Amino acid sequence: MSQLANPPAALDAPSASMASGVWKRFRKHPGAIFGFVVISTLIILALLAPLSPYNPEASEMEIRNQPPAWNHIMGTDALGRDLFTRVLYGGRVSLTVGLLVVLFSITIGVPIGALAGYYGGAVDSVLMRLTDAFLSLPSFLVLILLSAILREVEAPLFERNNVLTISLVIGAFGWTTFARLVRAAFLTLRETDFVAAVRALGGSDLRIILRHILPNAIGPITVEATLEFGYAIIEESGLSFLGFGIQPPTPSWGNLLSNAQEHFTKYPWLAIFPGLMIFFSIISINYIGDGLRDAFDPYKVLEKVGEV
């Protein structure tokens, strides 16, 4: 009986060992740790936004455009609203958009790339031509067009370009990178000996894809997810800055910058603080992606120097 109980533990050991190795290499990347601390801090602050004593949408005209002070550490805007509170609530919106875009992109792109890479032939040709068609479009201009159209839609889930609407619009183009990345990984992995062995033992295509090939492509997918997260925040900020993204009075980092452009010379803090939030979130995510890329690098798995 003990011999029958041992194999499952033995099968779990390689995956646990791989995760441990990835974490050991990741934590030795100073930039990645810095990025992880910064983005974690921003997420925690955004989650704690409801604890602020100020209402992010309530106007107090008698204190409008006040510079940073102890009671308003980022100052107030043109309507007397506490900027720090609005930046925190804007972070909830911008970071949520980034997360949803990544989820949408993975949900669409990974299955398309997996099917194209595994089956090849006509399936690959059709799916990759579809991907190429999306890549050939001027994405930001199409995003503006879609946002302008959906802004007028009265459907409950798409009212006034809310978070879900903007996430779907950006995710409509974000999946293409995942599709091409996963396809490339599957084209390589489907020819390996362990896949041939599983196929010879009668393993179904679905089992081979989900249990044997896809887990080996998790590294590139994870790295791309961090980069896509950053791209989504930039695109949401750009759309909101131009007036096609999240609509006021709901704050986002992009529309906070848009509202500040008329007052930048006289009240620069209105643009500086939202801009810094975008800067720190993007650079920290890029550092995390860089650290994950090194952590999942197969050549580094073979390096023993510094691993002990």
Pick from 277, 269, 168, 195: nearest CA to 230: 277
For residue 200, the 8-state DSSP code is: H
pLDDT of residue 16: 54
pLDDT at 15: 53
Four-CA torsion 88, 49, 100, 273, nearest 10 degrees: 10
Q: Are 109 and 56 in contact (CB under 8 A)?
A: no
SS3 for 152? coil
The CATH architecture assigned to 20-52+71-301 reads: Orthogonal Bundle (1.10)
Mean pLDDT computed over every residue of the chain: 82
What are the Cα distances from residue 302, in Å, to 30, 295, 296, 298, 306? 21, 12, 11, 7, 11
Residue 151: both structure tokens together: 């802004």
* pLDDT, tens digit, 9 for 90 and up, residues 65-99: 888 888 889 988 888 899 999 999 999 988 999 99
**Closest C-alpha among 210, 185, 207 to residue 198:** 207
Model-level pTM? 0.83
> What is the predicted pLDDT for the residue at 238?
85
Helix (H, G, I), strand (E, B) or coil at 76: strand
For the stretch 133-159, pLDDT in tens is 988 888 788 888 888 777 776 666 666
Tokens of 179: 């599709």
CA–CA dist 96, 42 (Å, integer): 12
Q: Please give the Cα distance from 152 to 154 (Å, whole number).
A: 6
* Alpha carbon distance 2, 78 (integer Å): 72
User: What confidence tens digit (pLDDT) does each residue in 246-296 have?
Assistant: 877 788 888 888 888 877 788 888 889 999 999 999 999 989 988 888 787
Can you state the angle between helices 2-27 and 269-295, rounded to 10 degrees?
Answer: 130
